[in-house]
Amino acid sequence: MKRLILALTATTALASPAFAGMLELEKDELTFGFIKLTDMAPLAVAYEKGFFLDEGLFVTLEAQANWKVLLDGVIDGQLDGAHMLAGQPLAATIGFGTEAHIVTPFSMDLNGNGITVSNEVWEMMQPHIAKTEDGRPRHPISASALVPVVDAFRAQGKAFNMGMVFPVSTHNYELRYWLAAGGLHPGYYSPENVTGQIGADVFLSVTPPPQMPATLEAGTIHGYCVGEPWNQQAVFKGVGVPVITDHQIWKNNPEKVFGITAEFAEANPNTTLAVTKALIRAAIWLDENDNANRPEAVEILSRPEYVGADYEVIANSMTGFFEFEKGDKRDIPDFNVFFRYNATYPFYSDAVWYLTQMRRWGQISEPKSDGWFDEVAKSVYRPEIYLQAARLLVEEGLANEADFPWDSDGYKPPTPGSDIIDGIAYDGRQPNAYLESLPIGLKSDERVIGNGVEG
């Protein structure tokens, strides 16, 4: 937990240039939650570099035990906001799991996750993976290389288990996407069965991020999808091998968001703007000058009050590289993206993608119209707040006009199939057509009834 001493004198505050145009804050003492992952970096940087203070905000950052505890803390007011899984505000707003209206004015990052398998599974995959001229595995690695392994487990009467961090996490949907693209069914949800394992070839279950490597080593799971530094930790510990990053599954895919209740945003509009301003500044700092500040960011994140992993483990992915097998370190400069490519803008099309995956796997049990997807996205993602905060930063000389999508309608251009591992394009304006194009998953009027699909 990080606490900010409130004994700032008025003269010190007035001496700061940022105070000249300061917003009239409805609330200036705030507590934000986070999970120990490197993509909480905008919160840590906004605190450590004084960006919150520049806005007159006195912030406490508190690590949370798991994603459910974090969400509950925001809903009941113990936390004013939090680093959240992008699926959490959407799921809460539509009433899947805990019901509450959560909104986001700020997307925290792109990419940042990986899929890791145990050493045993990696050895079994080897004969089915193409190699480069120097003998290294050719990337990206398709889940089709996992099919013979799952078949071998089944032949021995053993379930093939994999971990993800939460039912509405990007990790769940990315792992499912990768498996399905390789011909493996990750299972359905239904209102009566929320395990997500109906009809599954691979059985997915929740494991908290910091426990992933140890759970893999114990043999409870055979692989997992998680954010950093917990894939690189498996490499350092020698217990597993990352086989693919989410950047290789879907180039520049959306990741975490900063979530607050709709009630908080309505009651504290200026405070919400001030928080968004500070977070945008932190994201700019993280990416500016070709990631020149990343070593300092890694040092901050390695502290026990933040991520608490070794500097070398965090640096392995945060500084433009990613290590697969020990010694197989490859350039992936966009493994973590915090600002470029409009990473912080809360696009409706990102929200729609999460909703399509909830529908694809049965978390949304009934068919929905394209208009419904658009309406839900607009009730949760709040680009108008983001752009207002960005305008203030530009006027204050703290951000560049050209760095923001002022004329966006909230939807990105369609993502071409060449940027996605299964070669299937994604257009957020046509969610049902997109669902129809995916070979594995619910279509049109289909529903999960009992242990099967009808419709």
Following DSSP, what letter does each residue of 120-184 receive, concatenated? Answer: HHHHHHGGGS-B-TTSPBPSSPPGGGGHHHHHHHHHTT---EEEES-TTSHHHHHHHHHHHHTT-
Upstream peptide bond of 140 is cis (omega within 30 degrees of 0) = yes
- Cβ atoms of 131 and 114 within 8 Å: the answer is no
3-state secondary structure of 205: strand
What is the pLDDT, as a whole number, of residue 444? 82
Class of domain 10-111+255-346+382-403 (CATH, top level): alpha beta
- Cβ atoms of 143 and 178 within 8 Å: the answer is yes
Could you tell me the residue ranges of all domains in the chain?
10-111+255-346+382-403, 113-252
Which of 151-155, 357-361, 436-440, 448-452 is least confident?
Answer: 448-452
Whether 16 has a pLDDT exceeding 80, the answer reads no
Q: How confident is the model at residue 21 (pLDDT cuts 50, 70, 90)?
A: low
What value does the mean pLDDT take over residues 290-314?
A: 96
Q: How confident is the model at residue 97 (pLDDT cuts 50, 70, 90)?
A: confident
Whether 112 has a pLDDT exceeding 80, the answer reads yes
Highest mean pLDDT among 19-33, 395-409, 441-455: 395-409
Handedness of CA 95, 97, 99, 101 (dihedral sign): negative
Q: Do domains 10-111+255-346+382-403 and 113-252 have the same CATH topology?
A: yes
Q: How confident is the model at residue 5 (pLDDT cuts 50, 70, 90)?
A: very low
What CA–CA distance (Å, rounded) separates 114 from 43? 22
Tens-digit pLDDT profile for residues 320-338: 889 999 989 999 999 999 9
Tens-digit pLDDT profile for residues 364-390: 999 999 999 999 999 999 999 999 999
CATH level 3 topology of 113-252: D-Maltodextrin-Binding Protein; domain 2 (3.40.190)
Tens-digit pLDDT profile for residues 134-159: 999 999 999 999 999 999 999 999 99
What value does the mean pLDDT take over residues 89-94?
A: 97
What CA–CA distance (Å, rounded) separates 104 from 257? 7
How many helices, marked H, and strands, marked E, lie in the chain? 19, 16
Q: 129 forms bridges with which residues in the sheet? A: none
What CA–CA distance (Å, rounded) separates 182 from 248? 14
Length of the chain in residues, anyone?
A: 455
